[in-house]
């Protein structure tokens, strides 16, 4: 019988994994908090503001488009050679490009090569995070008791959101310490250089983690997958992939729009002051981290489908509340933003679905393909779609979130009704009862 509670070793593994994930995710998202500065420095000064913003978000989106390749490659070796090895490599692949971003010459120095180099580094970051997030979910879920997978995934996802909080806090500190001109003259580099050092710290921390018991058992019994894991995923688990893509799209909509894009949109499209938008974002991100833990733990107690159904409905309502406030009553923005952030925390229950959809021999590859393909399509296009849609409707971000969440709700209801009769896999390999 599996133990019901986390052991001291489980707790240590979870804390180190979450902390390392926070430092790595800071590296990935710090870009979005400096999109206005990056746009001004890496594109021609006579370019229209809306086009500069669109192209900067395009480079941001390139990180998402690179996720599938990096994720599938790292997942291949994670299923064949070990989870821990790829867990360490992903953070190294993130740290180096982030550090180099802080050292890049701008458009004024090297012209068009500046945005091209920035694009290359962003692609490398995307490849790194493509292996990091699925690998982290697999890593912690295979360490903890099966009855605490929701809590573990919620805590880990909260750790990733803490990385977003660190990015928001860093942007606020930069805005407080230096004037806009000082930031443009070179102080924008500080968050990226610090981020690169954070990544190296995360690499050092992960030296103290051990391989998952599930993978060790597979290796000892000589049951590791032969050939290409991704081929087995596509051959026998296509419906699992589709369902996981839908839930990954849900995660994308919540994080990218409500958490990552809202500060920039609040400033550029709704007239909110820079400091006010960043301060509100910090509170929203803190609420998100708390929500991830609560929704993840609730999935263990009440079942992941029921938790997702309730959380999705609340996420739609709170997102509309947020953007209605931004468009028509901005004085309430700071109050409603944390509410929306908390209910986006339903994404903390999403990895519980993902880790149970595939057997352990191909789990990393199955999750990585589903999650990263969905993120590449939806995450990469979301900023561009919303930016263009905002030209015709101030509530465009809320409409987009509502549409995505509605699709996820349909899938959840089908699962609850038994309409999708497929076998899910337990964490240890046997079909769920």
pLDDT in tens, 209-260: 888 888 888 888 887 888 888 899 998 888 899 999 999 999 989 988 998 8
pLDDT for residue 324: 93
Q: Residue 312 in contact with residue 250, Cβ under 8 Å?
A: yes
CB 401 within 8 A of CB 254: yes
| Two tokens, residue 201 | 């710290």
Spacing of C-alpha 207 from chain mean position: 23
Q: What is the CB neighbour count within 10 angstroms for residue 214?
A: 20
Closest-CA residue to 382 (of 258, 275, 244, 216) = 258
Q: Taking CA 250 as the corner, what is the angle to CA 377 and CA 50, rounded to the nearest 5 degrees?
A: 55
Q: Tell me which residue of 286, 216, 294, 252 sits closest to 129, measured CA to CA.
A: 252
CA dist 400 and 390 (Å) reads: 11
pLDDT at 352: 94
Q: How far apart are CA 395 and CA 187, in angstroms?
A: 34
Length of the chain: 433
Q: Which of 63, 54, 45, 57 is nearest to 107 (CA)?
A: 45
Q: What H or E segment, with its residue span, contains residue 336? A: helix 333-344
Instruction: Show Cβ contacts of residue 387 under 8 Å, excluding neighbours closer than 6 positions.
Output: 50, 53, 54, 57
Cβ atoms of 123 and 67 closer than 8 Å: no
Which residues neighbour 179 within 8 Å (Cβ) at sequence distance 6 or greater? none
Tell me what pLDDT residue 425 has. Answer: 54
Domains in the chain, please, with CATH?
8-417 (1.20.1250.20)
The owner of tokens 């090297």 is: 110
In the chain, which residues have pLDDT < 70? 1-5, 380, 418-433
Residue 82 backbone class (left: φ over 0; alpha: ψ -120 to 50; beta: rest):
left
**H-type alpha helices, 104-148:** 107-110, 113-141
Looking at residue 432, its pLDDT comes to 39
Residue 332's alpha-carbon distances to 62, 235, 321, 326, in angstroms, are 34, 51, 10, 8
State residue 419's pLDDT score.
47
Distance CA 390, CA 53 (A): 13
Q: Collect all residues with Cβ–Cβ distance below 8 Å to 98 and sequence separation of at least 6.
A: 27, 30, 121, 125, 192, 195, 196, 199
Q: What is the DSSP string of 337-392?
A: HHHHHHHHGGGGGHHHHHHHSS-TTTHHHHHHHHHHHHIIIIIHHHHHHHHHHTTT
State the virtual CA torsion across 170, 173, 175, 178 in degrees, nearest 10.
-120
| Number of neighbouring beta carbons within 10 Å of residue 6 | 18
Q: Tell me the two tokens of residue 273.
A: 């002051």
Rounded CA-CA distance 340/349 in Å is 16
Q: Tell me the CB-side half-sphere exposure of residue 361, using CA atoms within 13 A.
A: 19
What pLDDT score does 431 carry? Answer: 39
CB 130 within 8 A of CB 73: no
């Amino acid at each position: 019988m599996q133990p019901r509670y986390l052991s001291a070793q489980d707790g240590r593994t979870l804390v180190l994994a979450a902390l390392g994930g926070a430092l790595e995710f800071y590296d990935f998202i710090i870009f979005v908090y400096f999109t206005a500065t990056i746009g001004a420095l890496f594109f021609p000064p006579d370019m229209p503001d809306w086009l500069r913003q669109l192209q900067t978000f395009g480079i941001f989106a390139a990180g998402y488009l690179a996720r599938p390749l990096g994720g599938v490659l790292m997942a291949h070796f994670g299923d064949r050679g070990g989870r821990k090895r790829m867990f360490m490599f992903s953070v190294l692949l993130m740290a180096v490009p982030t550090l180099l971003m802080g050292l890049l010459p701008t458009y004024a120095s090297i012209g068009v090569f500046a945005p091209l180099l920035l694009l290359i580094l962003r692609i490398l970051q995307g490849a790194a995070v493509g292996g990091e997030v699925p690998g982290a979910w697999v890593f912690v879920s295979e360490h903890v008791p099966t009855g605490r997978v929701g809590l573990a995934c919620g805590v880990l996802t909260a750790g990733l959101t803490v990385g977003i909080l660190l990015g928001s806090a860093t942007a606020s500190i930069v805005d407080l310490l230096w004037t806009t001109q000082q930031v443009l003259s070179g102080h924008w580099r500080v968050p990226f250089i610090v981020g690169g050092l954070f990544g190296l710290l995360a690499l050092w921390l992960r030296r103290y983690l051990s391989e998952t018991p599930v993978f060790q058992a597979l290796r000892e019994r000589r049951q590791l997958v032969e050939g290409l894991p991704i081929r087995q995923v596509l051959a026998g688990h296509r419906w699992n992939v589709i369902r996981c893509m839908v839930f990954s799209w849900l995660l994308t909509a919540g994080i990218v729009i409500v958490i990552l894009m809202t500060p920039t949109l609040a400033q550029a499209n709704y007239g909110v002051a820079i400091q006010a938008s960043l301060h509100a974002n910090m509170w929203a991100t803190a609420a998100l981290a708390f929500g991830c833990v609560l929704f993840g733990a609730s999935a263990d107690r009440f079942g992941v489908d029921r938790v997702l159904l309730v959380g999705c409905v609340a996420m739609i309502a709170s997102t509309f509340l947020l953007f209605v406030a931004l468009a028509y009553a901005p004085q309430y923005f700071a109050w409603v933003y944390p509410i929306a952030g908390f209910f986006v925390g339903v994404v903390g229950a999403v990895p519980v679905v993902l880790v149970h959809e595939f057997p352990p021999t191909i789990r990393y590859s199955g999750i990585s393909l589903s999650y990263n393909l969905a993120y590449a399509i939806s995450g990469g296009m979301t900023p561009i779609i919303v930016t263009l849609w905002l030209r015709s409707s101030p509530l465009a971000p809320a409409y987009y979130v509502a549409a995505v969440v509605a699709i996820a709700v349909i899938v959840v209801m089908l699962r609850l009704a038994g309409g999708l009769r497929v076998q899910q896999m337990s964490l240890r390999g046997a079909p769920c009862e």
